[in-house]
Amino acid sequence: MLEKTLVILKPGTIQRALIGEVVNRFEKKGLLLAGMKMMWLSDEVLNEHYAHLKDKPIFQRIKNAMTSCPVIVCCWKGKDAVRVVRSITGTTNGRDALPGTIRGDYSMSIQENIVHASDSPETAEVEIKRFFKTEELFDYEPVLMSNLYAHDEY
């Protein structure tokens, strides 16, 4: 069974014209795009999404950054998708992220770190429902599926 995960291309990705670069990393790895849309994040959505940070002094700063321009939300699908995506994105702090990861190559910040990626399958399920309606997600089997996985892996 293929797992789904959420990725948000943050305002810095949009402002720096890195959308194609970031999406390309996930595609080249073999993850399948199940949904994608551009949107402005509302205060309500941000309060819910970052509720775990609401008592931190950085909370308002994060909300301000995430509303500075639209974001692109993506749902990616693949075997162990959450773990694979987090490996591709690198550690949260761009200064500590390894070269070759998205944050390691494109970020010098803990906040302006290019992407948000779900941290567990359980979180991914909640986050995907927060950002996508059921009809905005697509299941399909690419023609090259047998080149991505052994037949008993999907």
Structural domains in the chain, sorted by start: 3-148 (3.30.70.141)
The answer for residues whose C-beta is within 8 angstroms of residue 27's C-beta and 6 or more apart is 33
The dihedrals phi and psi of 106, each to the nearest 5 degrees, come to -125, 5
User: So what's the pLDDT on residue 124?
Assistant: 98
Question: Looking at residue 154, what is its pLDDT?
Answer: 85
Whole-model pTM? 0.95
What is the token pair recorded at 33?
Answer: 């795009």
Q: Which residues of the chain have pLDDT under 70?
A: none
Tell me what the pLDDT averaged over the chain comes to.
97
Least Cα distance to 4 among 58, 62, 113, 85 occurs for: 85
Contact 86, 119 (CB under 8 A): yes
Residue with tokens 């690198």: 90
What is the strand order of the sheet 71-78 is part of? 32-39, 71-78, 3-9, 115-117
Q: Which residues pair with 40 in a beta bridge?
A: none
**pLDDT at residue number 1:** 83
- Is 151 known to be catalytic? no
- Which of 49, 52, 116, 151 is flagged as catalytic? 116
Rounded CA-CA distance 56/87 in Å is 26
The pair of structure tokens assigned to 96 is 């500590």
